Structure 1
Amino acid sequence: MTDNLETSLTAELAAAARHAPRPAHDLLARVEEEHRRRRRNGVAGLAAAASVVLLTAGAPLVIDAARGTPVATPPPTAAATERPAQQADPVFPPIEKVWPGAVHVAPALLPNGRPFRPEAFLDDRTVLVRTEKGGHADKMDGLWAYDVKARTARLLVQVTPPPKTVVTASSVLADRDRLYWWTVRKQGSKRIVDIWTAPRKGGAQSRLTTFEGVPGYGGIDLEIVGDKAVWTLWGKGGVYELPLSGGKPRLLPGTSGYTLIGWPWAATPRYDPQQYDPDQRDLRQRVDELVVFGDLLNIETGKRSTAAVKPFATCGISWCVKGDTLEGREGGTRDLPGNPVPDPLALDRFLTLSQQDKDGKSRGQVLYDATTRRAGDLGLRPSQNASASLDYRSNGLFWYARDGKQVIVNLDAIR
């Protein structure tokens, strides 16, 4: 396989995954079933599974306490060089030893015997988790507060999806007082989005707003910013807002075609695999010409900038991922101690890297902090086809399955 073709294939899979729901920890085992049933995002859902095998990545930055203007860590100015063939990637300590206060190992089941999926940290030891009927990602039926120290769980919300629900939020959000998620349901030929909320301390769910306009089995990327909900439509772009008190959504001026990548930042162009015909001869060339999210917009100030990088690359707020390097939007390059799939960094700071030994064989993965340049080995065994995927929309939480348990990392607690 040529370098260009491999880059193109990797780009296609990673980009499709960016607009798919976050994969469940057992997704690899369910790929064939999901393909047959054409669940969720169709091709994008399968690509998300493939991206778990290829792994994810990103680039560095520090965001202030309000998560407003990013404060970039000055990058090295030396030009990047490709690592010599057959050179082993550096070895890093276990993730538990690198960030002991932020890493928690929990059982795979709640005390009542139900599987669960971590969503967000409510405090240093309490995790918001979800349960799903029949293990179906689009049939969320409960939100719980799970204590990672005492290993106890308390039901917060008995979730009831509306009839004919086809997609459920890939993540649940929490602010000081409330929880938020969304669903997509069928209504004739239309797809209707409902945004839901419930008290953070527990209680009944209520509908915040309803609107139509998502394509096919699409959804939204949702964030809560102060007293407003903001989101982007999968596959269409545009940044919309709605007061938490209710009302009608409105498109924010100047954001048409932009994708929200972390408030107040939106970027374009997105990579939409559906716009490319796999039978076209120019597919690889057209993919190789892309700088995904290369044009950046600060929604609050209206300031725009274009990344000073060459294709193919995928950009976040401060850095772009290009091959096995990070390139600053305004210049500067840093080699990575492993191989990523192009994707923005979680919190514009964290990414996972796959590593190889001197014989070119997989040695597993590490979580890499681009701000401090520290990394921790995830402890996954390549012989078991175990892998982890870090989504840049991760709400400050990273989790993966390991040896029948769940490793839950509080990214916001890493200093």
Structure 2
Amino acid sequence: MTTELEKSLAAEFEQAARYAPRPVGDLRGRVEDGYRRRRRRGTALYAAAAVVVLTAGGTYAVNGVAPRDPEIAERPVPAVTPTATSAPDKVFPPIEKVWPDAVHSIPATLPNGRAFRPEAFLDDRTILARTLKDGHADKMDGLWAYDIGSRTAKRLVAVTPPPRTTVTASVISAGGGRLAWWTARKVESRPVVDIWTAPASGGAQRKVATFGTVPHYGGIDMEIVGDKAVWSPWGGSGVYEVPLTGGRPKPVPGAMAHYTLLVWPWAGVPRPDALKRSSIVAFSTLVNLETRRRLGRATAPKGAFCAATWCVLDRSAFRRDDGTERPLPGRIDSNGVELDRFVTLLQSADKGRLRGQVLYDLSTGRAGDLGIRPVKVKPRPGSKLKRESVTMPVAVLDYRQQGLFGYESGDSWVVVNLRRIK
């Protein structure tokens, strides 16, 4: 794309983003640099909605775009330039037909009319939901239990972020009868993280720990492991833990200082933002922090993102142990591999025209169409973009969610319980 067109398109993203489903998690590899810059300006970014822009030349690119934020993320997925002879990707049935026991369509608002975002499955019929004050990412005001059968909701926690909060966790953790999340704030220009917890059955929030983190990043990736919170800092390394009853953070036993948490129990190197993504294999080497089992350097091309079994890049998946390649019926647009088996793929129709998006299971080769299609967006009055553009909202699958995949479709949430898929 030309520089002029890119600038013009940026002005249109705010309008196009209203079509986008709000995803569950942020795109770590694509947006953390942008996250830092936006936070310094005080702009809230809860999660990046990926928007595909199709140009007249037939190429498309995926860019992370904050809801109602026209700025393009700094780390777009590489553009695809289809040829005139590009064969269409395989067509798959709707996702609810492929995995009927795991897919749920529910209203996009709670019974009280509040918009919410699904975070995790508390059990097979109950979703942990988050509500935001005025839609602001750093003004989370409640955590709720939403019953997908009766479509009723109960507020579990009245959440109050501390003053001067600059970042709020984009993933709420649940486990062992507890909920946990974190917030970040500035103290004398340095980021300080607070970890919070509350009973999963409901109750008051309570601070677990406060500590400094990597300057200019200001966040962590965290999950509940047993009766502890375990995390790694954004832009840094090391795996740390603290009891949910409170205490002093300390390194996880067996975790090397230069390793970063992938998903428990795996930690590895290099972290996705350590170098230019195209020059590394993210999480090429892993260690299991429970068993101390080590997975040596993955057999995958540079630019790939690896989990314990699979590495993914472009239109291919590779077994990390021997590099066996599996062609994929679409282009990877996931933030990693969730549960070491699920990714999302952008699919093309004839001559490379973008058709839609599917959830793909690497372990079985099955996939379900998400029903998301490209939409035409006309230039707004006074816009620099004079021609009609075509965009497509993209549901974002994030490996840190560990069991839930959700996206908005019309006036509903489509929520997939990935752990129910056999």
TM-score normalised by structure 2 residue count: 0.78
Q: Which residue matches 1:77?
A: none
Structure 2: distance between partners of 1:258 and 1:29: 26
Q: Structure 2: state its 5+ residue gaps.
A: 2-26, 36-44, 52-62, 377-391
**Shift in Å, 1:343:** 4.3
Amino acid at match of 1:402: S
Larger RCO: Structure 1 or Structure 2 (Cα < 8 Å, ≥ 6 residues apart)?
1
1:272-301, CA deviations, whole angstroms, 9 ceiling, x for partnerless residues? 27x6xxxxxxxxxx6543212112122234
Q: Which residue matches 2:283?
A: 293
Amino acid at match of 2:29: A
**Shift in Å, 1:22:** 6.2
Equivalent of 1:326, from 311, 317, 332?
Answer: 317
Structure 1: distance between partners of 2:84 and 2:307: 27
Change in CA separation of 1:18 and 1:355 when aligned onto 2, cut-off 3 Å: farther
**Shift in Å, 1:310:** 3.1
Change in CA separation of 1:22 and 1:356 when aligned onto 2, cut-off 3 Å: farther
Q: Are 2:336 and 1:312 aligned?
A: no
- 1:84-103 superposed matches below 5 A: 85-103=85-103
**Shift in Å, 1:26:** 9.3
TM-score normalised by structure 1 residue count: 0.79
Change in CA separation of 1:342 and 1:179 when aligned onto 2, cut-off 3 Å: closer
Contact 1:313 1:342 in 2 (8 A): no
Q: Which residue matches 1:396?
A: 403
Judge which range, 119-128 or 214-223, deviates more: 214-223
Contact 2:46 2:138 in 1 (8 A): no
**Shift in Å, 1:18:** 6.9
Structure 1: distance between partners of 2:360 and 2:277: 27
- 1:69-148 superposed matches below 5 A: 85-148=85-148
| RMSD, matched Cα | 2.9
Contact 2:241 2:249 in 1 (8 A): yes
Judge which range, 353-362 or 17-26, deviates more: 17-26
Contact 1:319 1:326 in 2 (8 A): yes
1:149-194, CA deviations, whole angstroms, 9 ceiling, x for partnerless residues? 2211111110000011011111111113211111101212221111
Structure 1: distance between partners of 2:277 and 2:247: 40
Q: Are 2:144 and 1:154 aligned?
A: no
Q: Please state whether the residue corresponding to 2:340 is helix, strand or coil.
A: coil
Q: Which residue matches 1:336?
A: 328
Structure 1: distance between partners of 2:83 and 2:351: 14
Structure 2: distance between partners of 1:200 and 1:91: 40
Contact 1:232 1:239 in 2 (8 A): yes
Change in CA separation of 1:26 and 1:291 when aligned onto 2, cut-off 3 Å: closer
Amino acid at match of 1:360: G
1:40-99, CA deviations, whole angstroms, 9 ceiling, x for partnerless residues? xxx8xx347x56x989xxxxxxxxxxxxxxxxxxxxxxxxxx999411111100001111
Q: Structure 1: state its 5+ residue gaps.
A: 2-12, 37-42, 56-81, 276-285
Amino acid at match of 2:317: L
Q: Please state whether the residue corresponding to 2:134 is helix, strand or coil.
A: helix
- 1:133-212 superposed matches below 5 A: 133-212=133-212
Q: Are 2:364 and 1:366 aligned?
A: no
1:168-223, CA deviations, whole angstroms, 9 ceiling, x for partnerless residues? 11111111321111110121222111111111111111011111123224211111
**Shift in Å, 1:302:** 3.3
